[in-house]
Amino acid sequence: MAKIIVLGAGMVGRAMAVDLGQVHDVTASDIDEKALRTLREKHGIATIELDVSDRDRLARTVADFDLVIGAAPGFLGFETLKTVIEAGKNVVDISFCPENALDLDPLASRRGVTAMVDMGVAPGMDHVFLGYHDGSMRVESFECLVGGLPKKRIWPFDYKAPFSPVDVIEEYTRPARFVRNGNLIVEPALSDTELVEFDEIGTVEAFNTDGLRTLLVTMPHIPNMKEKTLRYPGHIRLILALKDSGFFETEKIKIGDAEVSPREFTSKMLINEWALAPGEEEITIMRVTVAGEEAGRQKTYAYHLYDEYDRATGTSSMARTTGYTCTAAADLLLEGLFTAKGVFPPELVGKQRPCFDHMLAYLARRGVVYRREEHADGPAR
């Protein structure tokens, strides 16, 4: 039994603490006492009230644990991860910080630490699939289409966020990077909108977001890579209206005697609009396609995920698909299946067949099942 601390007790952090707590000695931390109270009273998880921006206290706190799970908001993620690594603690992180976590690889190597980063559903499992196939085929293209959606569409946004609106707005404003014919292309987020069909939910919108992240560094040999986010049709038109009207700007403006950034104001206003109500059902849908040459033939692999809110446990689909990917990666460390030191994104973990198989089996036991299709398209070109 390992002693584990989960930094963050939001929707996903809570799911991870409960999952790991079935086997290990788990403590959850957060600045929000209300979130901690739920874990204590409903699930019997030990808690610590902690502000991760207090780096000295964070370092002292994690010193007592064998493994750290990072679920801090994105804007706090990099410094939190750095502090944990400096403290010499192994860590699995899903903060999806805007900075490049690979910059911390020399520090992690010096400290003898294993840090797995971006270990969610996407980025996360999509990168695991690519890493796995990159080890056995000459990959020519990679595409990930992914989204979390409410089952019931409610006007005007037809959207509910399992994460803070701050992180969603960051996704909607950060320039999107993708690779086309070997060239790095940078476009505004929300660009290149197209309609895509899924059997389970029908027509959705797909648009550019910056989901490739570490693949741009670790997989430079792949000539075509892109990631798109999925929403119900019409959502992006409303988001673009807000963006173009300045509601996502970060520079503060003066209103009366107060100064506030439009983005901060917008995030506050959208918290209730986008928050999932207790028991509200939502889904996660994803299609990952990897194509290239394998054993002298053109091959295409597609991984399909359709996951729903778990009524029995009251766990959101996004918390399950994101959180259980992270706890599956943590289990690799706890079981001694991954022991290398440094900072490792999902694609480098997925390259190892035992890790790949272990993660898929771990997720399947929790009802998160990826359906695989493969097609042989004829002799290699």
Q: pTM of the prediction? A: 0.94
Residue type, 269: M
Q: What confidence score (pLDDT) does residue 272 get?
A: 86
Check whether 157 has a pLDDT greater than 70. Answer: yes
Note whether 196 and 299 are same-domain residues.
yes
Domain co-membership, 27 together with 154: no
Whole-number pLDDT of residue 166: 82
What is the Cα–Cα distance from 25 to 2, expressed in whole angstroms? 6
**pLDDT of 1 strictly over 60:** yes
Same domain assignment for residues 15 and 105: yes
Place 161 in a pLDDT band, splitting at 50, 70 and 90.
confident
Give the per-residue pLDDT at 332.
98
Q: Does residue 249 carry a pLDDT above 80?
A: yes
Per-residue pLDDT reduced to its tens digit, 264-309: 999 999 988 998 888 899 999 999 999 999 999 999 999 999 999 9
Whether the ω angle into residue 156 lies within 30 degrees of 0, i.e. cis, is yes
Listed residues 308, 326, 342: the one ending a domain: 308
Averaged pLDDT for residues 175-190: 96
Q: Please indicate, yes or no, whether residues 321 and 282 belong to a single structural domain of this protein.
A: no
pLDDT (0 to 100) of residue 380? 54
Q: Is the pLDDT of residue 377 over 90?
A: no
> For residue 381, is pLDDT > 70?
no
Q: Rounded CA gap, 173 and 157, in Å?
A: 17
pLDDT of residue 165: 84
Question: What is the domain count for the chain?
Answer: 2
Average the pLDDT over each of 94-103, 130-139, 157-166 and give the range with the smallest value: 157-166
Amino acid at 122: A
Query: Do residues 139 and 268 share a domain?
Result: yes
Q: What is the CATH number of the domain that holds 281?
A: 3.30.360.10
Residue 372, in any domain of the structure: no
In a shared domain, residues 50 and 176: no
Do 131 and 20 belong to one domain? no
Q: Do 293 and 331 share a domain, yes or no?
A: no
Instruction: Confirm whether 107 is domain-assigned.
Output: yes
Q: Let me know if residue 375 belongs to a domain.
A: no
Given pLDDT bands bounded at 50, 70 and 90, which one contains residue 379? low
Q: Does 255 share its domain with 134? A: yes
Average pLDDT of every residue of the chain: 95
Query: Is 370 a domain residue?
Result: no
Confidence label for 167 from pLDDT (cuts 50, 70 and 90): confident
**Per-residue pLDDT at 230 exceeds 80:** yes
* Domain around 242: 125-308
Residue 343, H or E segment: strand 342-344
Per-residue burial over 226-265, b if 16 or more Cβ lie within 10 Å, else e, is bbbbbbbeebbeebbeebeeebbeeeeeeeeeeeeebbee
Q: Do residues 253 and 130 both lie within one domain?
A: yes
**378 assigned to some structural domain:** no
377 within a domain of the structure (yes/no): no
- Predicted confidence band of residue 214 (pLDDT cuts 50, 70, 90): very high
pLDDT 10s digits, 321-343: 999 999 999 999 999 999 999 99
Any domain includes 196 = yes
Q: Does 31 fall in a domain?
A: yes
If asked whether residues 302 and 253 sit together in one domain, one would say yes
For 353, counting Cβ atoms within 10 Å of its Cβ (0-12 exposed, 13-18 middle, 19+ buried), the class is: exposed
159 lies in the same domain as 299: yes
Predicted local confidence at residue 278, as pLDDT: 86
Q: Would you place residue 164 in the very low, low, confident or very high pLDDT band (cuts 50, 70, 90)?
A: confident
279: its two tokens = 């028991």
